[in-house]
Structure 1
Amino acid sequence: MSDNDTHQQPASQIRRRFLQAAGVAGLVLGKSASAQTTPPDHLAPRPSPQPIRPLPEGRRPFGYAIVGLGKYAINQILPAFGECQHARLAGLVSGDPQKARKVASAYGVPEKNIYSYDNFDDIRNNPEIDAVYIILPNALHADFAVRAFRAGKHVMCEKPMATSVGDCQRMIDAARRASKQLMIGYRCHFDPITQRAIQTIRAGKLGKLRAVTTENTDVLSIDDPSGQWRVKRSLSGGGSLMDLGIYGVNGARYLLNEEPIEVSAIRAESTNPVFHEVEDIISWTFRYRSGALAHGNSSFTAAATSRFGIQAEKLSGMLNPATGYYNNRFETVAGEETHILSDPMFQIPALNQFSAQLDHLPDVLGSGKPSLATGEEGMQDIRLIQAIYQSAATRRPVSTDWGDWRRKA
């Protein structure tokens, strides 16, 4: 599909695709999907700012419009603006006018900065909005990113970046044409415990890494509208691998600091009709040129787990939780001696992976320093995920020896 074809697709169809898919998923279990358009009874209170990253003198806060007002946006991203020093909430984009007005009232967003999916392109005329943060079902990321770039705005896009490598490339190309920044929402790249774990590994304190094991599971609630689109391939692009396993795919990359040259994968068959279109359980093994291995698994029907195991020549290590919203922990073990790094829950800097992510985009634009979460980074994860699916489908190893992924875009 060309960019022009995408632009001409009525935005109202996007909303219908979302709701229709949710409705079908709900009917599978005999549930109503009407809750999709029901505004929440409670919104998180507007937090007080904290002086984490002082705003450079003379620079106004960077304005974001949040595209999509689901649970993640309302419960994590919107409250995080209270801790931002470079960024502020400037606009909202939603298919639910009632919810949008309620959120706008809670966060002091003027009504003129509320947009629907249909009039989204009008943000080009709003100088208060510098960027959009796309938090929509995966299959909608590329179209909205292209529209945002056409409107002259920078883009932060929630992961997974898109549902195909082609859509990832389309987003990267649109950013280049517009001379705008594209950033992917890899919040773990900004988690202080993850950063300190990476620093410890890079400093050689564990010795040469030999194996990494990543486990990301959670029980998907199909009664929740946010779970309904995740089992529709047309919207999600896949199941637990796209939603949870991507943490392990990306995590193995930043822990080993190396790209895999081959993957082998297997998908467990499910008799649950909910998983007719997408996978529940899937496991994979990456092989590396250095001789290291990384094994990962994800599931939508196992109790919540977020754990990265690290086996190295000198020490073993564990991130558990590895990718949580709060209170991640990193421990290293040598014989009977254990060292633990953690941040107190609900205290800075434990909370600031969200605000640090939001502040990173304007910081990159203002300083010219490299982004920690580029579109190319997002596309490499999608390439690897597609290779995992291919290996699981063919039951054969698949080569991922593509050379430098930074040159693939």
Structure 2
Amino acid sequence: MVVINDKNTAAMDKAKNTNKPVKLEKWKSSADKSTPPPFSPLPENERIGYAVVGLGHLALEEVIPALFNCKFSRLAALVSGDNKKMEKVALQYGISPSCCYTYECFDELRDNPDVKVIYIILPNSMHMEFTIRGARAGKHILCEKPMANSSTECRKMITACNKAKVKLMIAYRMHFQPHTLKLKEMVSKNRFGEVRYIEAANGQSSANPEHWRHQAKLAGGGALPDIGIYCLNTIRFILQKEPTEVFAYQYSTPEDPLFKDTEELISWQMKFREGLIASCMAHYKVREIKTLRIHAERGWMFMDRAFAYKGQQLSTSRADGEEEIEEKISLSEPNQFAAEMDHFSQCILTKRAPNTPGEEGLRDQIIMEAIYKSANTGKPVRIKDYKY
């Protein structure tokens, strides 16, 4: 028995140390920027298997490639309404036909032990249905933002996952972006004094009126739930505070086929306690702009390309006597999607709650509903309902 225990202990120690980085000899001096440890993934059969639902731009351009840069996650299955597309993607990534599912046979995922997580990357109106079906299949759910088309749908999703005893995480990749985390740290430590005013803009140019993002029933709105939510959620995350009131304005160019039933522009302000105001804009008809500027008592912090998939640039400014000191902060850029999925996988492996649970998505939905109400009435709207 002693020998067996020794062997078991050795096996457990080996498994525990599998994903620790290989130690390399030092060769750089402290004068140069250090490099991160070597990539150290778990063995493939120990990583959490993901079924990607929906094979559109985000899935094919970002999420699936990112799964091959993950330490704790791997691609295990595909779900699509386009069989030809799915067959091609399966061949490209080595996914067996038995692990390819149509929307109709989606529920059969319950019988696939390799799939632990279902990542829902579908039009917003489909999030609730596939979250509930996925939870009933006994799988953990990672759902793209916005969480759903209404706070009522969000609550149903949370209830379904709680009932099935599976985890629900909303895919807020900015919570895993190093520059955003640095801003959050600087704000929490009052590096430049109290924050007094914030400006955030997220704009891009659309061209296809038939795309689901321009159909209100599928998207739940226009620029706000698609790109405005980045301004909203990132500000809440950095401040670790909730707005108490919103005031909003929206506009769509008359006769423009892109904006038959979704807004082109939405601009809103969020009022926080102690006089802090955040002014935000989301626009579907401007050249790409993604900026976040935080004004504090003794300086400012600015992030260009703030909500992009990569290329963030962070700078700060403060006064020191007669000098104006500006700094550019350079940080390593891990893949945001890989970091997001690996966080969820680690939560599953260690049985802890994710940083961005369904309640986080519900909060944003409640605020977006208040923003639309204000835009429609022309009056400020207080945020009262944070009940789950």
Q: Deviations over 1:19-40 (max 9, x none)?
A: xxxxxxxxxxxxxxxxxxxxxx
Q: Deviations over 1:282-312 (max 9, x none)?
A: 1101111121000101110011011011000
Partners of 1:331 and 1:210 lie apart in 2 by 18
Tell whether the 8 Å contact from 2:78 to 2:99 is kept in structure 1 after alignment: yes
Tell whether the 8 Å contact from 2:180 to 2:238 is kept in structure 1 after alignment: no
Partners of 1:97 and 1:323 lie apart in 2 by 33
Q: Which letter does structure 2 place at the counterpart of 1:279?
A: E
Gap change, CA 1:108 and 1:51, over 3 Å in 2? farther
Partner of 1:338: 326
1:375 and 2:358 matched: yes
Partners of 2:138 and 2:370 lie apart in 1 by 34
Question: Unmatched 5+ residue regions in structure 1?
Answer: 1-49, 344-348
Matches within 5 A, 1:338-357: 338-343=326-331, 349-357=332-340
Partners of 2:91 and 2:302 lie apart in 1 by 43
Tell whether the 8 Å contact from 1:64 to 1:129 is kept in structure 2 after alignment: yes
Partner of 1:217: 203
Partner of 1:89: 75
Partner of 1:151: 137
Partners of 2:235 and 2:338 lie apart in 1 by 24
Q: Which letter does structure 2 place at the counterpart of 1:309?
A: R
Partners of 1:102 and 1:111 lie apart in 2 by 11
1:361 and 2:347 matched: no
Q: Following TM superposition, by how much is the alpha carbon of 1:388 offset from its aligned partner in structure 2, in angstroms?
A: 0.3
Please identify runs of 4+ aligned residues in structure 1 that moved more than 3 A: 50-55
Q: Following TM superposition, by how much is the alpha carbon of 1:78 offset from its aligned partner in structure 2, in angstroms?
A: 0.7
Matches within 5 A, 1:6-405: 51-52=38-39, 54-55=41-42, 60-222=46-208, 228-271=211-254, 272-335=256-319, 336-343=324-331, 349-402=332-385, 405=386
SS in 1 for 2:258: helix
Q: Following TM superposition, by how much is the alpha carbon of 1:380 offset from its aligned partner in structure 2, in angstroms?
A: 0.5
Q: Following TM superposition, by how much is the alpha carbon of 1:280 offset from its aligned partner in structure 2, in angstroms?
A: 0.5
Q: Which letter does structure 2 place at the counterpart of 1:234?
A: K
Gap change, CA 1:58 and 1:268, over 3 Å in 2? closer
Partners of 2:384 and 2:271 lie apart in 1 by 10
Greater shift in the superposed pair: 269-278 or 120-129 = 269-278
Tell whether the 8 Å contact from 1:53 to 1:84 is kept in structure 2 after alignment: no
Using structure 1 for the length normalisation, give the TM-score: 0.82
Partners of 1:377 and 1:370 lie apart in 2 by 12
Q: Deviations over 1:251-274 (max 9, x none)?
A: 221122211111010112421132
Partners of 1:191 and 1:206 lie apart in 2 by 21
Partners of 2:247 and 2:111 lie apart in 1 by 49
Gap change, CA 1:58 and 1:361, over 3 Å in 2? same
Question: Unmatched 5+ residue regions in structure 2?
Answer: 1-36
Tell whether the 8 Å contact from 1:260 to 1:401 is kept in structure 2 after alignment: no
Gap change, CA 1:53 and 1:320, over 3 Å in 2? farther
Q: Which letter does structure 1 place at the counterpart of 2:105?
A: N
Tell whether the 8 Å contact from 1:328 to 1:342 is kept in structure 2 after alignment: no
Q: Deviations over 1:208-254 (max 9, x none)?
A: 1001111000001217x6xx111110100000011110001112211
Tell whether the 8 Å contact from 1:325 to 1:351 is kept in structure 2 after alignment: no
Q: Deviations over 1:173-224 (max 9, x none)?
A: 000000000001111111111112211221221211001111000001217x
Q: Deviations over 1:311-350 (max 9, x none)?
A: 001211111111110111211111432112234xxxxx41
Tell whether the 8 Å contact from 1:168 to 1:379 is kept in structure 2 after alignment: yes
Partners of 2:51 and 2:45 lie apart in 1 by 19
Gap change, CA 1:136 and 1:157, over 3 Å in 2? same
SS in 1 for 2:273: coil
Partners of 1:369 and 1:132 lie apart in 2 by 18
Partners of 2:65 and 2:135 lie apart in 1 by 26
Q: Which letter does structure 2 place at the counterpart of 1:203?
A: K
Partners of 2:87 and 2:344 lie apart in 1 by 26
Tell whether the 8 Å contact from 1:51 to 1:83 is kept in structure 2 after alignment: no
Quick check: which has more Rg, 1 or 2? Answer: 2
Q: Which letter does structure 1 place at the counterpart of 2:377?
A: T
Instruction: Report the number of matched residues.
Output: 347
Tell whether the 8 Å contact from 1:78 to 1:89 is kept in structure 2 after alignment: yes
Partners of 1:53 and 1:279 lie apart in 2 by 45
Gap change, CA 1:207 and 1:401, over 3 Å in 2? farther
Partners of 1:82 and 1:341 lie apart in 2 by 28
Gap change, CA 1:283 and 1:369, over 3 Å in 2? same
SS in 1 for 2:356: coil
Partner of 1:23: none
Identity %: 37
